[in-house]
Amino acid sequence: MAETYDVAILGTGLFGAALAYHLAEDPSLRILAIDAERTPRQPSATDASAGILSVQGWDPWDLGIVRESTEEYVEIAEREGAPPVRRDGGLRVARTEVGVRWLARVQRVLEREAVANRQVGPEAVREILPIADLSDVRAALFTPDDATIEPTAIRSGYLRAAQRAGVDQRSRADGIRVDRLADGAWSLGTEPTCVARALVVAAGAWSKGVLQSLGHSIPVAPFRAQVVRLRPRPLLPPFPTLHDLDLGLYVRSAPDGRVLAGDGTGSTEEDPFRWEAEADRSFVERMEASVGSLLGGLPTAPREAASAGLCTASPDRYPLVGRVPRAEGLYIATGFNGFGVMRAGGLARRLAEAIRSGRWETLRPADPMRFPEPGLPFDPVPEFPLESEGEDPGPVRDGSPRPTVPAAVRRGDGAIGYRSIGTLEEVDHLRWAPLSGWFDPFLPTFAKDALRTGGAVEVAEDGGTVRGLLLSGASEGVGSGFTRTRAIAERYLTAMDPAGLYLEAPWVPGGAPVEVFAADLRDWTPREGIRNPVRIAGPRDLEPIRSLMRALLGPGVDPWIATLPRPEESGFLCELDGRVVGVSWLTRVGGYARGHSFLVHPRFRGLGIGADLLTARMHWLRRTGGRQVVSEIYDGNVASRAAAERAGMAPVGRMFHFGPSARARPLATFEVPRSWGSSWPSSPSASRSTGTGP
Domains of the chain: 1-84+146-220+314-369 (3.50.50.60), 90-144+221-309 (3.30.9.10), 517-653 (3.40.630.30)
Task: Point out the residues of the chain with pLDDT beneath 70.
Answer: 40-41, 191, 264, 297-300, 381-414, 474-477, 660-694
Q: Could you tell me if 625 and 662 are in contact, meaning their C-beta atoms sit under 8 angstroms apart?
A: no
Cα 373 to chain center, whole Å?
41
- Angle at CA 314, nearest 5°, toward 186 and 248? 135
pLDDT for the residue numbered 379:
74
C-beta separation of 492 from 468 below 8 A: yes
pLDDT of residue 414: 58
pLDDT score recorded for residue 399: 43
Q: How much is the pLDDT for 197?
A: 96
Nearest to 278 by CA among 45, 40, 44: 40
Angstrom distance (rounded) from CA 8 to CA 167: 10
pLDDT at 474: 58
- Total-model pTM: 0.87
- Res 686: pLDDT: 32
Strands (E), 88-193: 90-94, 118-119, 139-143, 147-148, 168-172, 177-180, 186-189
Residue 375: its pLDDT value, please? 72
